[in-house]
Structure 1
Amino acid sequence: MNIELLKKLANTFGPSGNEMSVRKIIQKEIKPYVDECRVNKLGNLIARKRGKGHKVMLAAHMDEVALMVKKIDDNGYIRISPVGGIEPVTLIGQVARILKPNGTVLCTGVISYGEVHEGSEIKELPKIDYFYVDTGLTKKELKDKGVEIGSYVVPTQQFNTLGNKDIITGKALDDRIGCYMLVEVAKLIKKTNLDIYFVFSVQEEIGLYGAKTSVYEVNPNWGIAVDVTLALDSDLKGNSNIILGTGPFLTVKDSEIIASPVLDEHIKNIAKKYKIPLNLEIADFGTTDATNMMLHGGGVPSTILGVAIRNIHTTAGIASMKDIRNCIKLLKLILENPPKI
């Protein structure tokens, strides 16, 4: 497996609605391994490996949570609005890049919050309205550089390895890991009777919009959203079995859907047969592109398969390469041994 590709994907900026830089990398990487590659009007990348059998849609989203310029104060401080689900407390002191519409960097800033001194009392978690980005530039200098209302602000951190180098950390692991896994699966599938559509979707973090439009084009017989979930192995309450390094997860239920029991049972049987560790997930909050796949037309049997990460929706996500390798292996086996749906 090419970990350099995952590193490149994670380090690239691709906030919801501005995913073109990520898409270019994926398109170049996957094109030699598929029969067709196209971008639809919303910006989704759809890569097809032709077959005469059932249509299968595998979806991973390219976008990452970020921020947007809401106002520029007279002193040059930039007020921000969230793009996707971000806990404001995780932003304090983060370095951020402000982007041009084409995704290149205009300038760098630090996400700031009123000075916190030792012994000072914090009565509640800070709200996004209290944050600002300090670029060291005046309002005029920001304007001259092209910073304006609507410019993207992306918190950043370089991809790195931890411990024995089988643990990775970085920004945008949700869902560049999923994108990476689909590219690697496309490389491994040599011949198939299935008509496979690898869909790299946009704007998942703000409303699952990319999958909603792509599923109309693909019209699949069944589908899998390849995404990440929150590892709760550091939760002192111990109310989850989703633990980093113990294998991929398969969703039974999230906050929006109950996954296809037939598809889930088939995947569980494959994992058992080939001795791939697999965790079952019951999620009380959050959902994925599988929601809009499942609700297409008269209904599409769908589920979610992926890996767990710690510190989700931060610049310091943590994931296990062992889990990623096992998930790629399982996805390949599912496509080689498809369900009868």
Structure 2
Amino acid sequence: MREPMHVLIKRLTELPGPCGHEQAVAAFLRARWAEAGAEVSTTPIGNVVGRIPGDGPRLMVQAHMDEMSLTVRTITEDGFVHLGPGVRGPGVGILPEAVNRTAHILTADGPVEGVFARATGHLRSAAGGRLDGGITSFDEVFVDLALPDRRSVLDKGVHIGSPVIYRAETRLMGDHLIGKAFDDRLGLALMTALAERLAGTSPTREIVLVATVQEENGAVGAASLRHDLGSFQEAIALEVGPAGDFPGMPADAREIALGHGPVVVHSDTATHYDPGLTRALLELAGREGIPVQHAAFASFGTDGAQLTMQGIPTVLLTVPTRYTHSPYETVHLDDVSAALDLLVAACTR
């Protein structure tokens, strides 16, 4: 008996998978996809591939394994860890979400637990910090491991460049699921559930599931897929879709809302998605009675642009998600279920 979808998502999101260190997530996927009958392999750079034989065009279904992360930049003589970005770009924007949460610094011997900290408001002005609480640089936040000195930190296996993530439990609140790394473990959960739904069937396409590394670092993992796997007639990229249905958002941001179905994305900052495939997916949703939303996202990009640049016609399907790149990303389970139904239809109709 298959586990409920929210349990599968919880298993995936609570795994550590910082950018460039996705091994725990990859191991989970290899085991689950093999159990579902897929032919599983791993590319030289760590992308996980699951092939499901079928008749018809060769279809890639793709999502990424990595989550937003930081890195150890320096270790002070008194044992505090200063941080740097773990992904391409400045990365300062994720620090406010991390402060006062549990930190995990990943080492060869497992995670070392600490807390993301900064000067308390009682002391901030005396230290020259911002009175309004805003965080403008990596110098304002550090990790406190409750260790007395630099040597004690090094003895735990922590070193310059060690990946750092925040730890957060994924929890169910009514019909909503809240946690970290929904970007893009939701896509991986959909692919895993798809493989299990298709077990023992004869899909109308040869389906190749692909879980990529280092999407948050500029779609690095997706860049070699055509070289490693050959040509594809079509691809469905899976992602979260930023939802703005909460106070303080302008009308255009509120177009995407939880509980109104998955989002078919026509364009984003990086690319326009294949209009023929996009139209076909929308028509399929209509025939199947699956509600969908439309989006043209700004300040947003996916592995789908990299697939397009490699000559693979690609459509982008997303699950509306509040508070992306935070420890409390939020989705509605009806949207997840509808996205899975649409994926199954795309592979079997």
Output the TM-score relative to the length of structure 1: 0.93
Give the equivalent residue in structure 2 for 1:81.
84
Residue 307 of structure 1 corresponds to which residue in structure 2?
319
Alignment map for 1:156-305 (pairs within 5 Å): 156-162=167-173, 164=174, 166-189=175-198, 190-218=201-229, 219-234=231-246, 235-240=248-253, 241-296=255-310, 299-305=311-317
Aligned equivalents of 1:181 and 1:35: distance in 2?
15
The answer on whether the counterparts of 1:10 and 1:176 sit within 8 Å (CA) in structure 2 is yes
3-state SS of paired residue (1:161): strand
For structure 1, list consecutive stretches of 5 or more residues without a partner in the other structure.
none
- Amino acid in structure 2 at the alignment position of 1:311: Y
In the aligned structure 2, how far is the partner of 1:83 from the partner of 1:261? 34
CA contact under 8 A between 2:69 and 2:85: conserved in structure 1?
A: yes
Distance 2:143 2:123 in 1: 23
Counterpart residue identity of residue 214, structure 2: Q
> How far off is 1:118 after superposition?
10
The AA in structure 1 aligned to 2:132 is I
Instruction: Tell me the amino acid that sits aligned with residue 129 of structure 1.
Output: D
Other structure's SS at 2:121 match: coil
Does structure 1 conserve the Cα–Cα contact (< 8 Å) formed by 2:61 and 2:208?
Answer: yes
Whole-angstrom distance in 2 between the partners of 1:167 and 1:71: 38
Q: 1:96·1:153 contact (CA, 8 Å) conserved in 2?
A: yes
Alignment correspondent of 1:9: 12
Counterpart pick for 1:113 among 115, 118, 137:
118
Aligned with residue 328 of structure 2, among 295, 299, 316: 316
- Count residues with an aligned counterpart: 331
User: How far has the Cα of 1:140 moved from its partner?
Assistant: 1.3
Q: Deviations over 1:23-72 (max 9, x none)?
A: 11111111132441001111110000123421111111011011111100
How far apart, CA to CA, are the structure 1 residues paired with 2:196 and 2:152?
A: 47
Q: Does the Cα contact within 8 Å between 1:88 and 1:126 map onto a contact in 2?
A: no
In structure 2, C-alpha distance between the alignment counterparts of 1:151 and 1:336, rounded to whole Å: 43
- Residue 129, structure 1, aligned to residue 139, structure 2: yes
Cα distance in 2, alignment partners of residues 238 and 89 from structure 1: 25
Cα 1:124–1:111, aligned 2, differ >3 Å: closer, same or farther? closer
Q: Aligned partner of 1:46: which letter?
A: V
1:129 Cα deviation after fit: 2.7
| Greater Cα shift, 208-217 or 270-279 | 208-217
1:182-201: CA deviation from partner (whole Å, max 9, x where unpaired): 11011112211311110011
**Residue 123 and residue 201 in structure 1: after superposition, are their counterparts in 2 closer, same or farther (change >3 A)?**
closer
Q: 2:157 aligns with which of 143, 146, 149?
A: 146
Question: Does the 8 Å CA contact 2:240/2:320 hold for their aligned counterparts?
Answer: yes
Structure 1 residues 75 and 245: CA distance shift in structure 2, 3 A: same
Cα 1:2–1:237 change in 2 (3 A) is closer
* Cα distance in structure 2, aligned partners of 1:34 and 1:286: 34
Amino acid at match of 1:328: L
Structure 2 CA distance, aligned partners of 1:142 and 1:62? 28
Residue 2 of structure 1: how far off its partner (Å): 3.9
Amino acid at match of 1:271: A
SS at match of 2:331: strand
The code of the aligned residue for 1:304 comes to L
**What's the CA shift for 1:306?**
1.8
Give 5+ residue unaligned stretches, structure 2: 126-130
Counterparts of 2:218 and 2:76, CA distance in 1: 30
Structure 2 match to 1:40: 43
Deviation at 1:98, TM superposition (A): 1.0
Is 1:93 aligned to residue 82 of structure 2? Answer: no
Amino acid at match of 2:180: K
